[in-house]
């Protein structure tokens, strides 16, 4: 009597972006895997009066953790047969011109089970890279992004004044002053903020430099003209965006105790460039004081160009997301990831005393604020729904980039060049934005992801730029 063979028994394109493989492990082989696994676990059982490995099998079986046994059996089944199942799937998917992103094991509807004849079968679900429809990409035209659209960006002259004032203060020498405080003086103060009788913050030995915009204007104005030993109280309207959730968007009564007033000893920026202990550093960065306006202007224009480029890139992303039709996304995957991110939000909230959950969510994922109807009162379910929307959009955008990289982009790095970057990132992770403790495999994967994103987006941006230029030339 010949033994039956373990093999793939069915393949099926279950949906647009899922492909399933059913694999049968022959009864004889499955029985051997079970027997071997049970024997190994039996040898580990310890019972009083018996040496290790000498406990009678019938007694040892009663002590074995059945969940552990099942998991070990599954693990060994997959180790022996997963590759055969994957090879069949890959061969069929290649004929269809499709690739998979990840594999899951299907336990629903008894798809993975032990059969009555002693055989075992399992179902692997291959989640496929979506087929992206880029037909409308040739219709995308991006409008010109203008400098006045940059939120909070001061005009050049205001920027020059602010930066020169900050340099004047940062590199000056300060000595104790008995005079009333004035612009550019440095104060050391204790601040207590209250709303009614509730104390919302207490800050000790805060350094405040007047007139350079580091603190709210109302605070600086009320601390101008004070001396050491003074105590002043005043109301401040805190902006809704303030990082302290207890004060954000509220009127707070502040009591300030002035512990010292220090005045700058150099009277002008020119004197700072000449006499400061850090004069050589200033000169290295900006040349002479006479060159300061020109060099700061150059920095301003470079930063403005960078911000405008980022804004244009965001417009491109929005337009491409809009014109590419939605496709099937695994809801279980989305919900699982949303739960994971929500647990991180709760963890961040717990780290800071009394930090509301919604504030922790906004701080962790700033984009979530635009998705919440009332950010100040959002509950757990609303936060989870918003996180799921962020994940769904990110999955769609990542899928578009992966598709473009695999099927459209031509300016891809050579394998040896990519390998060098990965090796360098492993040796000096912080130079590439990683923590020292980041696992090497995680670093390598992240480098590949960066390359895919950069190369694919460059291709998309180039296509959109060409279309935009053509439409502009045709007066469209």
Contact 384, 357 (CB under 8 A): no
pLDDT at 435 over 60: yes
Q: Where are the alpha helices (DSSP H) in 277-356?
A: 279-286, 292-323, 331-351
**Paired sense of beta strands 7-15 and 100-105, if any:** unpaired
Spatial separation of the C-alpha atoms in residues 165 and 97, rounded to whole Å: 61
Whole-number pLDDT of residue 472: 87
- Range 243-249 average pLDDT: 81
- Range 307-314 average pLDDT: 95
Spatial separation of the C-alpha atoms in residues 133 and 321, rounded to whole Å: 11
Highest mean pLDDT among 82-91, 102-111, 240-249: 82-91
Spatial separation of the C-alpha atoms in residues 299 and 292, rounded to whole Å: 11
pLDDT at 145 over 90: yes
Closest CA relative to residue 126, chosen from 87, 95, 77: 87
DSSP designation for 255? E
Contact 45, 63 (CB under 8 A): yes
Contact 49, 35 (CB under 8 A): no
- Range 324-345 average pLDDT: 87
Burial of 273 per CB tally in 10 Å (0-12, 13-18, 19+): buried
pLDDT at 469 over 70: yes
pLDDT band for position 352 (cuts 50, 70, 90): low
pLDDT at 243 over 80: no
Spatial separation of the C-alpha atoms in residues 106 and 39, rounded to whole Å: 28
pLDDT at 2 over 60: no
SS3 of 189-207: the string is: EEEEEEECCEEEEEEEEEE
Spatial separation of the C-alpha atoms in residues 6 and 76, rounded to whole Å: 14
Spatial separation of the C-alpha atoms in residues 29 and 393, rounded to whole Å: 45
Residues 6+ apart with CB under 8 A from 136: 323, 324
pLDDT band for position 354 (cuts 50, 70, 90): low
Number of helices and strands in the chain (H, E):
13, 10
Residue 409: CB atoms within 10 A of its CB come to 19
Higher pLDDT, 360 or 221: 221
pLDDT at 349 over 80: no
Spatial separation of the C-alpha atoms in residues 398 and 390, rounded to whole Å: 12
- Range 115-126 average pLDDT: 94
Handedness of CA 432, 437, 443, 445 (dihedral sign): negative
Burial of 46 per CB tally in 10 Å (0-12, 13-18, 19+): exposed
Give, for 24, the enclosing helix (H) or strand (E): strand 18-25
Whole-number pLDDT of residue 376: 67
Q: Is 47 helix (H, G, I), strand (E, B) or coil?
A: coil
Whole-number pLDDT of residue 31: 94
Average pLDDT, the chain: 90
Q: Which of 213-227, 279-293, 351-365 has the lowest mean pLDDT?
A: 351-365
Spatial separation of the C-alpha atoms in residues 424 and 431, rounded to whole Å: 9
- Range 455-476 average pLDDT: 92
Whole-number pLDDT of residue 451: 94
Distances (CA, A) of 92 to 100, 199, 217, 326, 427: 11, 67, 67, 25, 40
pLDDT at 353 over 80: no
Whole-number pLDDT of residue 392: 92
Distances (CA, A) of 107 to 6, 7, 247, 311, 402: 20, 19, 50, 45, 29
Determine phi and psi for 210, rounding to 5 degrees. -75, 135
Highest mean pLDDT among 102-116, 130-144, 185-199, 337-351: 185-199
pLDDT at 124 over 70: yes
Q: Is 148 helix (H, G, I), strand (E, B) or coil?
A: helix
pLDDT band for position 360 (cuts 50, 70, 90): confident
DSSP designation for 438? S
Q: What percent of the chain has pLDDT over 90?
A: 63
Whole-number pLDDT of residue 47: 81
Whole-number pLDDT of residue 1: 41
Spatial separation of the C-alpha atoms in residues 340 and 345, rounded to whole Å: 9
pLDDT at 279 over 50: yes
Q: Which of 278-282, 314-318, 374-378, 420-424 has the lowest mean pLDDT?
A: 374-378
Task: Kindly state the greatest CA–CA separation across the chain.
Answer: 107
């Amino acid at each position: 009597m010949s033994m039956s063979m373990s093999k793939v028994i069915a393949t099926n394109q279950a949906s647009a972006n899922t492909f399933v493989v059913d694999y049968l492990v022959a009864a004889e082989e499955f029985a051997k895997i079970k027997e071997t696994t049970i024997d190994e676990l039996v040898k580990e059982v310890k019972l009083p009066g018996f040496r290790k490995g000498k406990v009678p099998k019938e007694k040892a079986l009663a002590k074995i953790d059945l969940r552990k046994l099942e998991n070990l059996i599954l693990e060994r089944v997959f180790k022996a047969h997963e590759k055969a199942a994957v090879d069949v799937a890959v061969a069929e998917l290649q004929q269809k011109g499709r690739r998979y992103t990840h594999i899951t094991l299907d336990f629903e509807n008894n798809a993975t089970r032990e059969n009555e004849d002693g055989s075992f079968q399992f179902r692997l679900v291959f989640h496929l890279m979506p087929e992206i429809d880029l037909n409308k990409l040739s219709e995308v035209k991006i409008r010109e992004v203008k400098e006045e659209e940059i939120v909070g960006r001061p005009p050049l002259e205001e920027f020059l004044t602010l930066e020169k004032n900050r340099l004047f203060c940062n590199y000056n020498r300060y000595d104790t002053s008995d005079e009333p405080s004035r612009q550019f003086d440095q104060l050391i103060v204790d601040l207590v903020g209250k709303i009614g009788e509730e104390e919302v913050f207490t800050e000790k030995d805060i350094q405040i430099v007047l007139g350079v915009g580091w603190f709210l204007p109302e605070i600086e104005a009320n601390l101008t003209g004070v001396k050491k030993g003074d105590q002043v109280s005043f109301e401040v309207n805190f902006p809704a965006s303030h990082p302290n959730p207890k004060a954000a968007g509220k009127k707070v009564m502040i009591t300030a105790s002035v512990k010292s007033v220090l005045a700058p000893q150099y009277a002008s920026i020119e004197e700072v460039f000449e006499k400061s202990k850090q004069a050589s550093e200033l000169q290295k960065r900006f040349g002479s004081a006479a060159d300061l306006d020109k060099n700061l202007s150059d920095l301003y224009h470079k930063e403005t160009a960078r911000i405008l480029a980022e804004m244009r890139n965001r417009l491109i992303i929005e337009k491409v997301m809009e014109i590419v039709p939605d496709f099937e996304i695994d809801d279980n995957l989305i919900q699982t990831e949303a739960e994971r991110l929500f647990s991180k939000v709760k963890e961040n909230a717990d780290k800071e005393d009394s930090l509301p959950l919604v504030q922790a969510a906004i701080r962790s994922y700033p984009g979530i604020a635009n998705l919440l109807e009332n950010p100040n009162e959002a509950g757990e379910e609303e936060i989870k729904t918003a996180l799921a929307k962020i994940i769904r959009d990110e999955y769609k955008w990542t899928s578009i980039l992966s598709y473009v990289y695999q099927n459209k982009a031509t300016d891809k790095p050579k394998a040896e060049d990519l390998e060098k970057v990965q090796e360098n990132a492993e040796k000096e992770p912080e130079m590439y934005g990683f923590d020292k403790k980041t696992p090497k495999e995680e670093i390598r994967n992240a480098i590949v992801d960066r390359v895919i994103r950069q190369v694919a987006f460059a291709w998309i941006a180039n296509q959109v730029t060409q279309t935009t230029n053509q439409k502009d030339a045709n007066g469209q």
